[in-house]
Structure 1
Amino acid sequence: MDMNAPLPGPFTLADLLTVGWLFVAWLGIGWITEHPPRSHPSVSAVMKSYRREWMRHFVTRDPRIFDANILTSLREGTAFFASACMIAIGGGLALIGNTDQLAGVARQFDLEHVPALKWEIKIVLVLFFVANALLRFIWSHRLFGYCAILMASVPNDPNDPRALPSAMQAAEINITAARSYNSGLRCVYFALAAVGWLAGPLALFVTTGYVIFITIRREFASHSRRAIMQHIPADPSLIPSDGQRKDAGNR
């Protein structure tokens, strides 16, 4: 099978296969990260138990300024990435309106003539992931705002029967906000991978593979994960066996 065989339109079979590889990797990484095996949870999954533990301690902490500062920091992170995505979208749209610059760069590297439509579609692919990331970050920012309101509604008296249930409500909203935030970050990673398509299908295949490697390593085999796994708040689904702890320590 000739991977460079032309198809109807400006693309080849290799282009379609590598774009498919990009989307499969994006969806697959998201699923594995959010639904990891119990025997080897991801950092995102482990942090859920820490967020619940945070809210348990929040009930008895006085004053609660420390918790407010943490939540403010989380919201600032989502706002920063949302702003960066908006700038990137604006730049991408401007580039679509002037693809002659990209064509000029391609000619400098002695690349074959590429139709303007092909450049535009490649840029649109990058913008798809950036726009998706923007929506995720905006929703995460709003959810952290909801979490702040729920935290403010927790009674000051730790013995109040409504205190712990209200704190656990805030914890679940916090977890949902973090899930959207992590999803937005993955979209940014794969937007960077999609940039490789500007150099051709082989470059897209390589950049996608690299993003997969980086994401899997950070979620399942990083030094930070080993540190987090040293002491996990009580959560039976996330507490590893002695053998798993020993194996993690030997890596």
Structure 2
Amino acid sequence: MDMMDRLSLFAPLDLLAVGVLFGTWWLLGLLIEHPPKRYPSVTVLTFEYRREWMEQMITRDPRVFDALTMNGLREGTAFFGSGCMIALGGVLALMSNTQSLDAVAVDLTASAHPEVLWQIKLLAVAALLTHAFLKFVWANRLFGYCAITMAATPNDITDPKAKTRARQSGEIANRAAVNFNRGLRSIYFSLAALGWLLSPYALIATTAVASFTLLSREFASTSRETLRDT
């Protein structure tokens, strides 16, 4: 069975729903990372807080609080990365044995589906989980780089390298956070992609739910208002 034969198994609505899923995932990321200047997202609002954190770190001695905070951030990326690996392993295992899914489909719709159909649907979930895993791994490394530049920052505010190292630390921390948030968004949409196992209508609905959840947390949450009140 070639690629065209595989695609012929899907109705036009299936292809439209997948396009909505990945198109929304990409556009939402673009909006969150590059929001209107008058209405910044939580992601953008926290950029300045990290920069201020690194400036305050210069004169903080000892830097136990900074070390603990950075360690917590790295542990968070490691936790989500490990979770993605476990979930990805489960999806790949299910792709190699789709009989259980077919049995459920027969019970619900009284009709079976070709194995390749289930595999392609699960491939969308696996692709998003893989993207999330790679982003979490990179965020973990960036937080590690940030820890190094933090350690290289002098405690003396008059040292010419102090503000430079603090600025570098802040920018690296911001890049790490951007990649961490990208990983989280991919997890949200990987859960939405599971809706395709039911129907293309369900996929569009779960994509809408995931989008609403992310948009509300980035642009209409109490935490956002708190961050702006400074």
* TM-score normalised by structure 2 residue count: 0.96
Cα separation, 1, equivalents of 2:140 and 2:196: 31
| Residues 55 and 166 in structure 2, CA contact (< 8 A), matched pair in contact too | yes
SS at match of 2:160: coil
Q: 2:130 corresponds to which residue?
A: 131
| Residues 15 and 201 in structure 1, CA contact (< 8 A), matched pair in contact too | yes
State the one-letter code of the partner of 1:176.
Answer: R
Please show how residues 22-33 of structure 1 align to structure 2 within 5 Å.
22-33=21-32
Please show how residues 84-233 of structure 1 align to structure 2 within 5 Å.
84-231=83-230
Cα separation, 1, equivalents of 2:59 and 2:142: 23
Cα separation, 2, equivalents of 1:111 and 1:225: 48
Following TM superposition, by how much is the alpha carbon of 1:73 offset from its aligned partner in structure 2, in angstroms?
Answer: 0.4
Residues 153 and 7 of structure 1: CA distance in aligned 2, closer, same or farther (over 3 Å): closer
Q: How many residues align?
A: 226
| Residues 32 and 43 in structure 2, CA contact (< 8 A), matched pair in contact too | yes
Following TM superposition, by how much is the alpha carbon of 1:216 offset from its aligned partner in structure 2, in angstroms?
Answer: 0.7
State the one-letter code of the partner of 2:141.
Answer: R
Cα separation, 2, equivalents of 1:44 and 1:144: 16
Residues 111 and 132 of structure 1: CA distance in aligned 2, closer, same or farther (over 3 Å): farther
Q: 2:35 corresponds to which residue?
A: 36
Following TM superposition, by how much is the alpha carbon of 1:56 offset from its aligned partner in structure 2, in angstroms?
Answer: 0.7
Question: Which of the pair is proportionally richer in helix?
Answer: 2
Is 1:60 aligned with 2:59?
yes
| Residues 22 and 208 in structure 1, CA contact (< 8 A), matched pair in contact too | yes
Following TM superposition, by how much is the alpha carbon of 1:106 offset from its aligned partner in structure 2, in angstroms?
Answer: 1.2
Following TM superposition, by how much is the alpha carbon of 1:63 offset from its aligned partner in structure 2, in angstroms?
Answer: 1.0
State the one-letter code of the partner of 2:218.
Answer: E
What's the CA shift string for 1:81-116, capped at 9, x where partnerless?
Answer: 000000011111110110001101112223532111
SS at match of 2:122: helix
| Residues 103 and 112 in structure 2, CA contact (< 8 A), matched pair in contact too | no
Residues 8 and 43 of structure 1: CA distance in aligned 2, closer, same or farther (over 3 Å): closer
SS at match of 1:11: coil
SS at match of 1:109: helix
Cα separation, 2, equivalents of 1:7 and 1:98: 18
Q: 1:244 corresponds to which residue?
A: none
Following TM superposition, by how much is the alpha carbon of 1:224 offset from its aligned partner in structure 2, in angstroms?
Answer: 1.0
Following TM superposition, by how much is the alpha carbon of 1:10 offset from its aligned partner in structure 2, in angstroms?
Answer: 1.0
Higher alpha-carbon deviation: 74-83 or 7-16:
7-16
State the one-letter code of the partner of 1:39.
Answer: R
Following TM superposition, by how much is the alpha carbon of 1:215 offset from its aligned partner in structure 2, in angstroms?
Answer: 0.7
Unaligned runs of 5+ in 1: 1-5, 232-251
Q: 1:237 corresponds to which residue?
A: none
* TM-score normalised by structure 1 residue count: 0.88
Residues 142 and 25 of structure 1: CA distance in aligned 2, closer, same or farther (over 3 Å): same
Following TM superposition, by how much is the alpha carbon of 1:9 offset from its aligned partner in structure 2, in angstroms?
Answer: 2.1
Cα separation, 2, equivalents of 1:117 and 1:83: 28
Residues 184 and 15 of structure 1: CA distance in aligned 2, closer, same or farther (over 3 Å): same
Cα separation, 2, equivalents of 1:156 and 1:133: 36
Root-mean-square deviation (CA, aligned residues, Å) is: 1.3
Cα separation, 2, equivalents of 1:162 and 1:40: 34
Unaligned runs of 5+ in 2: none
What's the CA shift string for 1:177-216, capped at 9, x where partnerless?
Answer: 0000000000000000000000010000000011111111
Over the matched positions of the two proteins, sequence identity in percent amounts to 49
